[in-house]
Chain A
Amino acid sequence: MTRIELTVDGAKVVDDVEPRLLLVQYLREQLGKTGTVIGCDTASCGACTVHLDGHSVKSCNVLAVQADGAEVTTIEGIATNGELHPLQEAFRECHALQCGFCTPGMIMQSADLLAENPHPTEAQIREGLEGNLCRCTGYQNIVRAVRYAADATSATTDGGAA
């Protein structure tokens, strides 16, 4: 067992874990953060995407011990004070999900994408989501949702500056 200390969705956690435990398994099984899901075993599908120190990672491809000292944000930690994150709102508004299994990872990766590029083109959105698979939507409404969130966020920002 190895002692790890990290911050998950704003809360400090300290645990002893087996070194082989994957970050996603730690989140789900030990912390009960079942919003983050496991879709594959080759880091292909991106369903398990979370933010590790501010960057998107596939939490099935990171050991829990590697996250020692880090700050982890999951789909369960992005809404603030009961207000949905703009991307959560956008996914609902644009019908960017059907079964919803890929959605946590898709939203977390979209958030990373917009953090790096607040005004992406359609092509940039599609490329930015290349590591996240969805089997239901054909991606069309996901792309639309990311643009919707980008527009909503910039409208808010612009409004604030004015």
Chain B
Amino acid sequence: MIPAPFEYARPTSVDEALGLLAGSDDAKVLAGGQSLLSVLRMRLNAPELVVDIGRIDALRGIREVAGGGGAIEIGAMTPYHEILASDEIRTGLRLLHDAVAEVGDPQVRHRGTLGGSLAHADPAGDCGAVALALGAEMVIAGPGGERVVPADEFFQDLFTTAVGEDELLVAVRFPGYPGWGSRYEKFVRTAQDWPIIAVGACVRMADGKTISEARIGLTNMGPTPLRARAVEEALVGMTPTAEAVGAACAAVADGTSPPSDLNGDADYRRHLATVLARRAVLAAAGAA
């Protein structure tokens, strides 16, 4: 099926894009299009204007943040396959690399972008929980200039973020995690399916023996990606045995409100989260 008719604009600068968004009260931003185009084809949405930001060169690329202590900035329109090809990300942001490797399929990873995925904010998307766990910062451009929103405040509800109608997510900044171990545990029914849930864990070891710091993000355990802060704190100082980590992770689903759907009910998701969190943390700690 073909989408309903729409006006189409293809700005070449962020300012031009913002101007187009400001001039329309029914515009949709087209990034890689890997989620949006299916929505339009099924006519679940029929915007008047589609603003294609695919030709704004400034939105693409991976760069080290000057004076950022190893922080990396990824342009919002950087496609997944470029992220996967980046040595800096594979070595410095392994959790992001591993999560991106699990997104969709190869064709989707050629077109889909990190910024598009985060701005779409599907709770089953792989990148949100990772951005949250890694304490990413979202650079948002608007009529009044740029602002930086921490991931904690970025995801507001189902498919809803801090990006306003007249704004654009332009980049994502990740602090560096030198020496941390990580694991993205994704649980799917079929390879291509959306995750029932996923858990991303990033762990720093002290002397290779005890956990000194942990960061855990949860995918599809609620209307937004979530961070398991209580478990992160419980892990600090722990020798990562299966028993100890398992006990700490038993509380990983506390306070979450996962969905019930064809793939499983909320109780099953809560249970899965405890298993996957334990496995992710143990693997990240090098103990699996």
Chains A and B directly touch (beta carbon < 8 Å): yes
A binding-site residues for B, Cβ under 8 Å? 2, 18-22, 25, 41-44, 46, 49, 52, 55-58, 60-63, 65-66, 109, 112-113, 127-128, 130-132
| Main DSSP-derived SS at the A contact region | mixed
Kindly state the separation between the CA atoms of A22 and B37 in the bound complex, as whole angstroms. 9
Q: How many B residues face the partner with a CB closer than 8 A?
A: 30
Minimum CB–CB distance for B18 against chain A, Å: 20
Residue among A20, A41, A61, A130 making CB contact with B33, cutoff 8 Å: A61
- Asked if B110 lies at the interface with its beta carbon under 8 angstroms from chain A, I say yes
A sample of 5 cross-chain residue pairs with beta-carbon separation below 8 angstroms, ordered by A number, consists of: A18-B5, A41-B42, A55-B110, A57-B111, A132-B105
Digit string of B30-62 for contact with A (CB within 8 Å is 1, else 0)?
100110011011100000001010100000000
CB closest residue in chain B, given A128: B106
Contact between A43 and B37 (Cβ–Cβ < 8 Å)? yes
Contacts of B54 in A (CB 8 A): 66
* A109 touching B106 in the complex, CB below 8 Å, given contacts A22-B41, A63-B33, A65-B10: yes
Contact between A66 and B52 (Cβ–Cβ < 8 Å)? yes
Contact between B38 and A130 (Cβ–Cβ < 8 Å)? no
Kindly state the separation between the CA atoms of A22 and B108 in the bound complex, as whole angstroms. 16
Contact between B41 and A19 (Cβ–Cβ < 8 Å)? no
* A57 touching B107 in the complex, CB below 8 Å, given contacts A19-B6, A62-B37: yes
Minimum CB–CB distance for A12 against chain B, Å: 20
Contacts of B104 in A (CB 8 A): 131
Kindly state the separation between the CA atoms of A20 and B3 in the bound complex, as whole angstroms. 6
Kindly state the separation between the CA atoms of A42 and B104 in the bound complex, as whole angstroms. 12
Contacts of B192 in A (CB 8 A): 44, 130-131
Kindly state the separation between the CA atoms of A113 and B106 in the bound complex, as whole angstroms. 9
Minimum CB–CB distance for A153 against chain B, Å: 19
Kindly state the separation between the CA atoms of A135 and B70 in the bound complex, as whole angstroms. 47
- Asked if B158 lies at the interface with its beta carbon under 8 angstroms from chain A, I say no
- Asked if B7 lies at the interface with its beta carbon under 8 angstroms from chain A, I say yes
Contact between A109 and B3 (Cβ–Cβ < 8 Å)? no
- Asked if B4 lies at the interface with its beta carbon under 8 angstroms from chain A, I say yes
10 nearest A-B residue pairs (beta carbon): A131-B105, A19-B8, A55-B110, A130-B191, A20-B3, A58-B107, A130-B105, A61-B37, A42-B38, A56-B107
CB closest residue in chain A, given B40: A20
- Asked if B1 lies at the interface with its beta carbon under 8 angstroms from chain A, I say yes
Contact between A131 and B2 (Cβ–Cβ < 8 Å)? no
Minimum CB–CB distance for A122 against chain B, Å: 14
Contacts of B4 in A (CB 8 A): 20
* A20 touching B107 in the complex, CB below 8 Å, given contacts A55-B81, A62-B37, A66-B52: no
Contact between B38 and A41 (Cβ–Cβ < 8 Å)? yes
Minimum CB–CB distance for A115 against chain B, Å: 11
Kindly state the separation between the CA atoms of A58 and B109 in the bound complex, as whole angstroms. 11
Contacts of B5 in A (CB 8 A): 18-20
* A61 touching B111 in the complex, CB below 8 Å, given contacts A109-B106, A127-B191: yes
Contacts of B106 in A (CB 8 A): 56, 109, 112-113, 128, 130-131
B219-267: which residues lie under 8 A (CB-CB) from chain A? none
Contacts of A130 in B (CB 8 A): 105-106, 191-192
* A131 touching B8 in the complex, CB below 8 Å, given contacts A43-B38, A55-B81, A66-B52: no
Contacts of A21 in B (CB 8 A): 2
Question: Which residue of B10, B38, B40 has the most chain A CB atoms within 10 A of its CB atom?
Answer: B38
Residue among A19, A58, A60, A63 making CB contact with B7, cutoff 8 Å: A19
Digit string of B78-118 for contact with A (CB within 8 Å is 1, else 0)?
00010000000000000000000000111110110000000
